[in-house]
Amino acid sequence: MDLIIASPMRNILLLIGSILVLMLTASGCTQTSDKTSSASSTAKVDTVPEKMVWIPAGAFDMGSVDPAFADSRPIHNVTVNGFWMDEHEVTNVEFERFVKATNYQTVAEQPINPADFPGVPVENLVPGSGVFTPTAQPVSYDNPLQWWAYVHGASWRNPKGTQSSIDGKPNDPVVHISYTDAAAYAKWAGKRLPTEAEWEYAAQGGKGQQAYYWGNELKPDGKWMANIYQGNFPDANTSEDGYEDLAPVKSYPANGYGLYDMDGNVWEWCSDFYRPDYYAKSPVGNPKGPEDSFDPDEPGLVKRVQRGGSFLCSDQYCIRYKPGSRGKGEVNSASNNLGFRCVKDGEKK
């Protein structure tokens, strides 16, 4: 089904008004965990240190012929210069270093301005973010609010709300990261976010277009190659790949360039504005996306491209983990399946 739910519940405030009031009122204590929230006790053991790998210059075919991905057509030839890319998605411990150095507060942690949400009681405008919540039984796919909740206190420190934490998960990809947050981290780190063309070129791993970024079989030799959803979405995750939601980075094999988790686990931000018609007019050399954003589904929102899918994608729902497919999100949106990685210009050492 061609539906992207990488953008979070904060946008729903703008889109569904009265429904959100009920969500905000009811969702504050729906998430439970046997762990307590404590930023100071976050595990500091970084067993997967930061590393960048060189992606050589080259040309490739970008896009998809899949009829489900109308915004990924036409397939067009693109060339990119060489660049450095993070080997894996930015982790909790890496993002924590940034926060400690800068006192940065993510969008999900910031107070909500009542002027932005007229008609919503002030007491309900509590910082939080979108959290996937499995349903108790099979449901139709026409209403994502059946499995998404705006959870008070959900943020990168507390991915499922205040009764959860990232203790003991230093190498999980950081989540609840908006484009605004990812760009701030990249600037601090002396890097930048990848263009959509750089991201897809890197994800192909030098192998060109295939059914999946890792090859033409979903499960070569019976093994899952990415952290995606198994079972009946959204009520019965069988976790055949070993993970119910996030997987620590580098849990699956690297691609031909030595990059991990370019497929599944968490959606990743790109620097490009989103427009569904951009591919028809994209330049050949080092395209950087359109000059502005336009999504006919939500024309009033400024969106950037997201890539790679997440642990919630499968052939049954949200099939945009597949090569060439595109995601999109409002720049201040966040959720517990949304993260990022960075790139850097330069020469091969």
Angle formed by the axes of helices 179-188 and 92-102, to 10°? 70
Domains of the chain (ranges, CATH numbers)? 9-34+54-344 (3.90.1580.10)
pLDDT tens sequence across 22-31: 233 222 222 3
For residue 315, give both structure tokens. 């052939």
CA–CA distance, 66 with 324 (Å, rounded to integer): 9
CA–CA distance, 207 with 304 (Å, rounded to integer): 26
pLDDT tens sequence across 47-65: 787 899 999 999 999 999 9
Q: Helices marked H in 146-232 — which ranges?
A: 179-188, 196-204
Give the pLDDT band of residue 45 (cuts 50, 70, 90): low
For residue 181, give both structure tokens. 């947050």
Could you tell me the pTM of the whole model?
Answer: 0.88
- DSSP for 228-248, please give it: ---EETTTEE--TTS-SS---
β pairing state of 303-307 and 52-55 = unpaired
- DSSP for 257-282, please give it: TS---SSBSSEEEEEEEP-TTGGGT-
SS3 content of the chain, % helix, strand, coil (to 5): 20, 20, 60
pLDDT tens sequence across 145-162: 999 999 999 999 999 999
CA–CA distance, 135 with 147 (Å, rounded to integer): 6
pLDDT tens sequence across 68-123: 999 999 999 999 999 999 999 999 999 999 999 999 999 999 999 899 888 888 88
CA–CA distance, 276 with 328 (Å, rounded to integer): 10
pLDDT tens sequence across 210-254: 999 999 999 999 999 999 999 999 999 999 999 999 999 999 999
Which residue type occupies 260?
A: Y
For residue 180, give both structure tokens. 């605004």
Q: Give 284's contacts (C-beta < 8 A, 6+ positions apart).
A: 76, 77, 78, 79
β pairing state of 267-273 and 338-339 = parallel
Q: Say what the pLDDT of residue 252 is.
A: 97
Average pLDDT, integer, range 262-283: 98
Q: 117, 313, 295, 86: which is closest to 182 by C-alpha?
A: 86
Give the pLDDT band of residue 44 (cuts 50, 70, 90): low
State phi, psi for 335 to the nearest 5 degrees: -165, 175
The CB density around residue 290, as the number of other CB atoms within 10 Å, is: 15
